[in-house]
Structure 1
């Protein structure tokens, strides 16, 4: 009698989900001992994390992305200071009618806030920002041109709801981040509290592009443009981030990054004669250079 042989059939996952995770840490340190030219010893660290969940089908694409950053710096004679603080969640769902087109009918949700208090150093007694103060959400629908092979994405939404939250009452009373500030009588007694939220409806245009410009050097571009229909239409809020990744090997890389932000609702805070004074909105710029370890899984 013949004996049936056992055949092992490999398991093939039928899931449409693709998971990508990346965490890294950049460290910078400089120390001086009897250094005649002078200088200040310091150490700085930056943690970054990107977690992506993508569900792909023949005619649909759902991309979820969580981006976190947090950096600290310590110099001799100074307290620990924050250098970077970012928490972002992006979710985009798109549907196309056929496989010949790169245009999708899309819905997009974005959320952004920070982890800890922010200060106008050296003043560490009066925070100028906190967790959920501010927090921004964007929710809208529109058209999305998505080319997966070229890693190029342009999203256009003629109807986007933008909500700004300032859940700290002290900051809300000051009218921070475009809130309606508190009102006071002649003796300084508060009559009405500052509002903690503000809602706008406008146009949102975003762009994402990633390309290997040279061998082991990758350029990544993220641009967001928004203008409100009712309040100062044509006054555009800009959030533009660029980064060059220089890959040494699988776990070591260097990066050069920059970010430009302009938001007319975010007023510049200056200190005049020891008093914080709110002036007009200004272009915000941030530049970074780091070398560190990265782990992809």
Structure 2
């Protein structure tokens, strides 16, 4: 009887110990190879006058902006995706509502390297640019000079990329990049806007052949991205894209250069100053002369934006178990 009791107690202890071990055992957490970063902001500026001897017009401006990033990284493979949007408006006393900024951009880069140490990658890059709403040569708001997908730009190419994650530096060179320009507004296409072949007319002004809605090019693309903190709470970001077509006037370089300074006031309030310079030989400028829209040759386009507003940034790492 005594032996049976000892055996029963020992069995119960072993069973309890085993059960406790099962309870304590957990499947370890692992961090997903996906990482995300999301940033949305709204800048606003307003000025008003009451009996102001120097004169001036009341005005208010707003700018909605966002930047969303998704990165997949595993061993020697890296896949970066980015969505950027900006839309700004201005209302000034005595004038209609006017657009001040309009951008929709998607970037995607797939890169592979031979080892986990090298900063050089074999890379394929995709880029898409267009806008949300019609653009006008103010004060003429009857005839638009641009529209959604008029233009829209697609870049798709292969090449090599240098990526230094610690220095936030990227340099990409593609000797083989396909560029497509879309002008899906037929009136603008008939005018030959943004480099597409314009419509052909007979001697009576009737259209014989409609303007082409697309234009394709094959050339070399060079891009650079660099971000750094130049002083405490002051971030500097530089982005530049250079493209030249092999077949049509090789040596004419399309330039898209953006510089931005972002100053942090606190976690949610930030001020920014930015400039963008664009030159494209295929883009002809339009201006108003005696209420008539006149087309002239290509010129350097320059935009400068300064604002202060609320920015909300949230990062996320997906946790999986397995």
TM-score bucket of the superposed structures, by smaller chain: over 0.9
User: Which of 68, 75, 84 is the aligned partner of 1:51?
Assistant: 68
Deviation at 1:8, TM superposition (A): 7.7
Deviations 1:73-107 (A, max 9, x none): 01111111100000000000100001221100000
Aligned counterparts of 1:35 and 1:55: Cα–Cα separation in 2: 56
User: Which of 145, 150, 153 is the aligned partner of 2:167?
Assistant: 150
Deviation at 1:14, TM superposition (A): 3.7
Q: What's the TM-score, normalizing by structure 1?
A: 0.98
Per the alignment, residue 81 of structure 1 pairs with 98
Deviation at 1:249, TM superposition (A): 1.2
Q: What's the TM-score, normalizing by structure 2?
A: 0.90
Query: Higher relative CO (CA 8 A, sep ≥ 6), structure 1 or 2?
Result: 2
SS at the partner of 1:177?
helix
Aligned counterparts of 2:295 and 2:93: Cα–Cα separation in 1: 31
SS at the partner of 1:125?
coil
Deviations 1:127-154 (A, max 9, x none): 0000000000000000000000100000
User: Which of 197, 212, 235 is the aligned partner of 1:195?
Assistant: 212
1:101 aligns with 2:123: no
Give 5+ residue unaligned stretches, structure 1.
none
CA RMSD of aligned residues (A): 1.2
Per the alignment, residue 34 of structure 1 pairs with 51
Alignment of 1:258-273 (within 5 A): 258-273=275-290
Give 5+ residue unaligned stretches, structure 2.
1-11, 315-322
1:208 aligns with 2:213: no
Kept in 1, the 8 Å contact 2:274–2:305? The answer is yes
Per the alignment, residue 254 of structure 1 pairs with 271
SS at the partner of 2:136?
coil
Aligned counterparts of 1:245 and 1:8: Cα–Cα separation in 2: 48
Deviation at 1:272, TM superposition (A): 2.4
Q: Which of 270-279 and 81-90 deviates more?
A: 270-279
1:17 aligns with 2:34: yes
Q: Which has the higher helix share?
A: 2
1:62 aligns with 2:79: yes
1:112 aligns with 2:156: no
Aligned counterparts of 1:21 and 1:147: Cα–Cα separation in 2: 22
User: Which of 284, 307, 310 is the aligned partner of 1:290?
Assistant: 307
Q: Which of 195-204 and 180-189 deviates more?
A: 180-189
